[in-house]
Chain A
C-alpha cells in the first residue's frame, strides 16, 4: 500500500493545528471552523479508505490464507539510542489499528461539526479547533504506532492536548485545577509506563511491537529468568506498562481525574473523555496482548482492577447529580468492562473471545457514549445547567435529543437489537467461560448500568417538569450542526451490533463467527430489564421513593455521593504529605541548613578577620612586645630541643 494516504492521515491534523494555532488569531470563527471540519472530513475519508482497503482488498500484505497480518506502511528512524533501541515513527496497519482508524475520525469529525454550533459564541473558537486538531493527530499517531516508544510519545501528546482542552475555559479556576489534576495523575501513571518500557527494552533490546508480540516466547527467554521481589521481570514490566493504561483509562485508583475533566467543553468530553483517549489503556493492553498471555499474573491483575473499578463506578454513578459526571462514571465503568474482558481472555476459551469482545465493546461504546455526551451537551445548552435538578419533562420540548438519548441509553443498557447488547453479551460470555465468579460479578454491574442510565434518562426527560419560563426561551432542540451528529451516531448505535466483528478483529488474525450464547443473552436482557424497571418505578414520576431509599442506608448514599472520598484521600496525600511534609521541609532545609552552612563559612571568615585584625595595629610598641615574646619563645624551644 502506498504511504501517501497514511501519511496524510497524520499530516493533515498536524498541519491544521499549526495553521490554526499560529494563524488562528487573524481568522474569523467561520473560517477556522471550516478549515477544521474540512481537514477532519478529509482525514475521515482517507482513513475509511485505508481501513476498507485493509479489511476488504484481499491484498497479500494484509491477509494470507484467511489470516489477517499486521502491515507496516512506513517506518522512519526518529531517534537512535543504541544500535537496537531505535525510536521509529511509523504506521502500523492491523485489525485493531484499522478499527481505530474508523472510530477516531468518525467521532472526531462528528465533534468538529457539533462544535460549530456548540462553541459558536465562545472566545478562543480558533484555539479550540487547533487543540482538537492536535488531539486528533496525537490519537491517530498513538493507534498506528509501530513501536512502544512511538506509542509513548503520542501517549504524552494525547495527555497534553487533553490538558489544553480540559482547561479550555482558562479563566475558571475549576477548569484550571481540573486540567492540572488530569495531567499530573496521568503523568504519574506514565512514570510506570516509562519504567515498564525501560525494563522491557533492556531485556528484549527492541521497542518494536512486531518483535515483541510475534514471538512472545523469545521475550520470556530473553529475560533469562530474572526476578525482582518474587515476580519475574516480565511480570513487573507488564504490570508497570498497564499502570500507564490505568492512568489514561481511569482505572481505580487513578480514576480521580476523569470526573473532574468534565470541566472541559462538552464536545471535548465526548471526544476525549468518552470515546477515544480513555480507551488508550485498553488499546495498549490489546496491542501487547500476546505478551500479556505469557504472564498469568498480569492478566489476573487487569481483571481484578477492572472488575473493582466497574463496580465502584457503577455505584457512584447512581448517586451523582451532575449529568456529565454520571456519564463520566458510566464511562469508567464501561472501560472497566473492556479491561475485564481482556483480562479473562485466553486462547483456550473460544479463541480468546474476550479480546474480540473488548474491541467490539470499545467500538460500540465509542459510538453510543459519544452520542450520550453530545446529547448531554444539547441539554446543557438548552437549560444552562449541568444538573438534572434543573431538568425534567424535557421529552416534550426536545424530541430529537430525547429519542437519540433514549437510543444511547438502550444501547448502553444492553437491550437488543441495540449495539451495546451484542458487545456486552460477548464480554459476559467471555467472563463466564473463564470463571463463574467474574461472570456473576459483571452481570450485576451490567444490571446496575441499566439502572443508573435509566435513572438519568427518566430524571431528565420525565420526572417533574420544572418552571422553564424564567429562561429567555423554552428549551428546544439544537440546530442542524448539533442535531446531525446526534442522528448519525444514533443510527450507528442501533446498527453497529450487527457487524460480524469476529471476522475482522481477533487476537491472532484468524476469523471466526460469533454466535450468541442463548442462556447468557436471555439472562443479561432480563437483568437489564430489571434495572430499567427499577428506574422506571423510582424516577418516571416525581415521588418519594428515591429519597426514602437513600434514607434507608444514609451512610452508603453519602459515601457514594462523595465518590467514596477518593478525592479527599488524594488531596490529603498531595497537600498534607507531599507538599507540606516533603517539599516544604526540603525548601526549608535548603535555605537554612545547606545555605546556612555556606553563609556560616562567610560569617566565620568575617569574624576571624575581625578578631585578628588587632595585630595589624600600626603601634610600634606592640610590635616590639610581640617580637620579644616571639624571640623568647623560639629561644626557649630551641634550648629545650638542644638540651
Chain B
C-alpha cells in the first residue's frame, strides 16, 4: 500500500495532525505546518515530474491502485491521477503552505491548525480518489471543519455565517449523495459487479440515458453549490466575510475548486449524454453567475464581499467553460481553476493582512494605503491585475482559452452567452479599479492609519510565493495548458465524442 506515491498525500497530513497534536508551543506548531506543507509541495512537484514521464503509456490515469475497504458494498479506497488532479494537488499544497504563513499569529494555534490540516486531508484525499464513495467521504471531511474554523476563529456575524455555509453545502451534499448512490446502482449490468470506481463505471457504460437525465442534474447541482453556481452561491459572501484569513484562502482557493473538479470528474465524465443534452440549462445559470457576480461586486463596500462576488463570477466561468464540452474550453476551465485559486488566495491573504492592521474592511473608511504599506498595496495591485486579466499573469491565459474554446460552438445560443461572458472583462476592470482607487490610492483617509507598518517576513513569504505562481502560469501558459489538455485528448474524446 505504501509503495504508491499518491497515498502519501493523505499520510503526510495525518502525520502533520499528530505532530500538531503533540506540539508544546506555537513555534513547534508552525514548524510542523510549514515543514509538512513544504513536504506536500515537494511531493506534488515530484508527482508532476513522474506523471509527465509516465503519461504517454495510453492509460487514462496513472498510479492507479485500489484496496478493498467494505466488500459487501464494493467500497474501495481507489486512487489515481491525471493531469487535472496533478494540477489541483499542486495548487492545494501551495495554498496550504502560504495559508500556514498567513496564520502565523493566529490565536489558539493548536486547535486551529488541527482543523485546518484535517480540512486539507479531505482536500488531498478528494483529488487522489477515483472511488465515488471515498471521494464523497473526503469531500465531507473537507467541509465539516469549516463550520468550526469560521464559528470559532471568524469575525463579524460568525455564527450565522458558519451555520449558513455549512447548511447550504450540506444541502448540496444531499443532492450529491442521492446522485452518487444512483450512479452506484447503475454502475454495471449485473448487481454483483456494482462498483463505485469511476474508471470502471466509464468502462461499463451502463447508465441508461433516462437515468442520466436524473443523475446529471443531481451531481452537477450538488457540486455546483460548492462551485458557487447561481442561485446557490449566497453562502459564499457571508462565509468568506466571516472566515479567518487562512480559511478564506483555502476555501476560495481550493474548496471551491472541488466543486468544479467534481462537476467535471463525476457529472460530465460519467453522464456524458445527459451533459450534452442538458448543458444549456446550466449554461444559462452559470452565464448568469459570471455577469451577476461581477455586477454585484461593483457596489459592495466590504473587501471580502467584493472578493467573494468576484469569486462567484470567476468560478461561474469555470463551470461555464466545463459545460462547453470541448477540449479548448475545458482546458481553459481547469486553468481558470488554477488561476482563480492562486489569485483569490492572494486576495484573501492580503485582505486579511490589511484587516489585521486597520481593523476594518470597509473601503469607505480607508484610503491611500499605498503610502503607508507599499508592499501590501503593490501586491494588491498585482492581484487585481491578475484578476482583470492582464497578460503575463494567470487570469488572462485562462480566460482567453475559455473564450476561444467557447466560440467554437457556431450556434447563436452559445455565441450569445460567450459574448455575455466576455463582457465580464470590462465589469471586472470596473470593480477592481474601484477598489484599487479607493483603498490604495488617493489621499490617506484615516490619520490613525499613518502609524501602521508594512508586511512582516512571513506575510511577504506568503504573498510573494503566490505572486510567483500567478506569474509562472501567466508567462509560461503552454506548459500548464499542455498538462491539462493531454488529459482530455484520449479518453474524453471517446466519451463525449467532441473535438
Q: Which positions in A face B, CB cutoff 8 Å?
A: 77-82, 85, 149, 153-154, 156-157, 160, 163, 167, 170-173, 176-177, 180, 183-184, 187-188, 190-191, 194-195, 198-199, 201-202, 579, 582-584, 586-587, 590, 594-595, 597-599, 602
Interface residue? B199 (CB, 8 A):
no
Of the candidate stretches B7-15, B58-66, B290-298, the one touching chain A is B290-298
- Over the window 403-447 of chain B, the binary record of Cβ atoms lying under 8 Å from chain A Cβ atoms (1 yes, 0 no) is 111011010000000110011011001100110010011110000
Q: What are 15 A-B pairs at a CB distance below 8 A?
A: A80-B485, A156-B390, A156-B391, A157-B390, A160-B390, A171-B441, A176-B441, A176-B442, A183-B429, A187-B426, A198-B407, A198-B422, A202-B407, A582-B295, A583-B296
A583 to B442, Cβ gap below 8 A?
A: no
CB distance from B126 to the nearest CB of A (A): 25
Apart from A586-B292, A595-B234, what are 5 other A-B pairs with CB-CB below 8 Å? A157-B391, A180-B433, A188-B426, A198-B407, A199-B407
Interface residue? B368 (CB, 8 A):
yes
B425 to A187, Cβ gap below 8 A?
A: yes
Report, nearest first, the 9 A-B pairs whose CB atoms are least far apart: A595-B234, A153-B391, A170-B441, A583-B298, A198-B407, A583-B299, A176-B441, A79-B477, A187-B429
Interface residue? B482 (CB, 8 A):
yes
Complex Cα–Cα for A191 and B400 (A): 12
A80 to B426, Cβ gap below 8 A?
A: no
Residues of A within 8 A of B300 (CB): 587
Residues of A within 8 A of B419 (CB): 195
Complex Cα–Cα for A170 and B481 (A): 37
B422 to A176, Cβ gap below 8 A?
A: no
Residues of A within 8 A of B103 (CB): none
Q: CB within 8 A of B370: which of A170, A598, A599? A: A170
B481 to A80, Cβ gap below 8 A?
A: yes
Residue of A nearest to B440 (CB): A170
Residues of A within 8 A of B482 (CB): 80
Complex Cα–Cα for A187 and B441 (A): 20
A171 to B371, Cβ gap below 8 A?
A: yes
A81 to B401, Cβ gap below 8 A?
A: yes
Residues of B within 8 A of A599 (CB): 164
Residues of B within 8 A of A201 (CB): 404, 407
Residue of A nearest to B434 (CB): A180
CB distance from B267 to the nearest CB of A (A): 22
Complex Cα–Cα for A82 and B400 (A): 12
Residues of B within 8 A of A85 (CB): 404
Interface residue? B19 (CB, 8 A):
no
B443 to A173, Cβ gap below 8 A?
A: yes
Interface residue? B396 (CB, 8 A):
yes
Complex Cα–Cα for A187 and B327 (A): 28
Residues of A within 8 A of B371 (CB): 171
Contact residues of A: prevailing secondary structure = helix
Interface residue? B397 (CB, 8 A):
yes
Q: Given that A156-B396, A160-B390, A173-B442 are contacting pairs, would A586 and B404 also be in contact in the complex, using a CB cutoff of 8 Å?
A: no
Residues of B within 8 A of A595 (CB): 234
Q: Given that A156-B390, A183-B433, A579-B298 are contacting pairs, would A171 and B234 also be in contact in the complex, using a CB cutoff of 8 Å?
A: no
Complex Cα–Cα for A199 and B408 (A): 10
Residue of A nearest to B399 (CB): A194
Complex Cα–Cα for A333 and B416 (A): 36
Residues of B within 8 A of A77 (CB): 478
CB distance from B373 to the nearest CB of A (A): 14
Task: Name the interface residues of B196-210: CB closer than 8 Å to any CB of A.
Answer: none
Residue of B nearest to A141 (CB): B391
Complex Cα–Cα for A81 and B426 (A): 23
CB distance from A512 to the nearest CB of B (A): 38
Interface residue? B328 (CB, 8 A):
yes
B481 to A583, Cβ gap below 8 A?
A: no
Q: CB within 8 A of B401: which of A79, A587, A597, A602? A: A79
Complex Cα–Cα for A590 and B478 (A): 38
Q: CB within 8 A of A82: which of B296, B328, B385? A: B328
Complex Cα–Cα for A602 and B368 (A): 42
Interface residue? B168 (CB, 8 A):
yes
- Over the window 440-479 of chain B, the binary record of Cβ atoms lying under 8 Å from chain A Cβ atoms (1 yes, 0 no) is 1111000000000000000000000000000000000110
Complex Cα–Cα for A315 and B376 (A): 46
Residue of A nearest to B405 (CB): A81
A583 to B295, Cβ gap below 8 A?
A: yes
Residues of A within 8 A of B442 (CB): 170-173, 176
Complex Cα–Cα for A338 and B477 (A): 37
A191 to B425, Cβ gap below 8 A?
A: yes
Residues of A within 8 A of B404 (CB): 81-82, 85, 198, 201
Complex Cα–Cα for A604 and B283 (A): 31
Residues of B within 8 A of A195 (CB): 419, 422
Complex Cα–Cα for A331 and B298 (A): 33
B437 to A177, Cβ gap below 8 A?
A: yes
Q: CB within 8 A of A191: which of B392, B410, B426, B434? A: B426
Residues of A within 8 A of B168 (CB): 598
Residues of A within 8 A of B328 (CB): 81-82
A79 to B441, Cβ gap below 8 A?
A: no
CB distance from B398 to the nearest CB of A (A): 10
Residue of B nearest to A189 (CB): B426
B433 to A586, Cβ gap below 8 A?
A: no
Interface residue? B498 (CB, 8 A):
no
Interface residue? B181 (CB, 8 A):
no
Residues of A within 8 A of B52 (CB): none
Residue of A nearest to B403 (CB): A198
Residues of A within 8 A of B396 (CB): 153, 156
Residue of A nearest to B388 (CB): A187
A587 to B433, Cβ gap below 8 A?
A: no
Interface residue? B73 (CB, 8 A):
no
Residues of B within 8 A of A583 (CB): 295-296, 298-299
Complex Cα–Cα for A198 and B410 (A): 11
Residues of A within 8 A of B426 (CB): 184, 187-188, 191
Interface residue? B497 (CB, 8 A):
no
Interface residue? B167 (CB, 8 A):
yes
Interface residue? B231 (CB, 8 A):
yes
Residues of B within 8 A of A194 (CB): 403, 422, 425
Complex Cα–Cα for A201 and B405 (A): 11
Residues of B within 8 A of A184 (CB): 426, 429-430, 433
Residues of A within 8 A of B299 (CB): 579, 583-584, 587
Complex Cα–Cα for A250 and B404 (A): 27
Residues of B within 8 A of A167 (CB): 441
- Over the window 211-240 of chain B, the binary record of Cβ atoms lying under 8 Å from chain A Cβ atoms (1 yes, 0 no) is 000000000000000000011001100000
CB distance from B464 to the nearest CB of A (A): 11
Residue of A nearest to B475 (CB): A78
CB distance from B459 to the nearest CB of A (A): 17
Residue of B nearest to A594 (CB): B231
Complex Cα–Cα for A85 and B435 (A): 35
Complex Cα–Cα for A80 and B481 (A): 8
Residue of B nearest to A150 (CB): B391
Residues of B within 8 A of A160 (CB): 385, 390
Residues of A within 8 A of B410 (CB): 202
B408 to A202, Cβ gap below 8 A?
A: yes
Complex Cα–Cα for A305 and B131 (A): 61
Q: Given that A80-B481, A177-B437 are contacting pairs, would A191 and B422 also be in contact in the complex, using a CB cutoff of 8 Å?
A: yes
Residue of A nearest to B424 (CB): A191
Residue of B nearest to A175 (CB): B441
Residues of A within 8 A of B481 (CB): 79-80
Residue of B nearest to A80 (CB): B478
Complex Cα–Cα for A154 and B392 (A): 10
Task: Name the interface residues of B345-370: CB closer than 8 Å to any CB of A.
Answer: 368, 370
- Over the window 72-86 of chain B, the binary record of Cβ atoms lying under 8 Å from chain A Cβ atoms (1 yes, 0 no) is 000000000000000
CB distance from A234 to the nearest CB of B (A): 15
Q: CB within 8 A of B167: which of A81, A149, A190, A602? A: A602
Complex Cα–Cα for A154 and B407 (A): 22
A586 to B295, Cβ gap below 8 A?
A: yes
Complex Cα–Cα for A153 and B391 (A): 6
CB distance from B474 to the nearest CB of A (A): 10
Complex Cα–Cα for A180 and B437 (A): 8
Q: Given that A187-B425, A194-B425 are contacting pairs, would A590 and B441 also be in contact in the complex, using a CB cutoff of 8 Å?
A: no
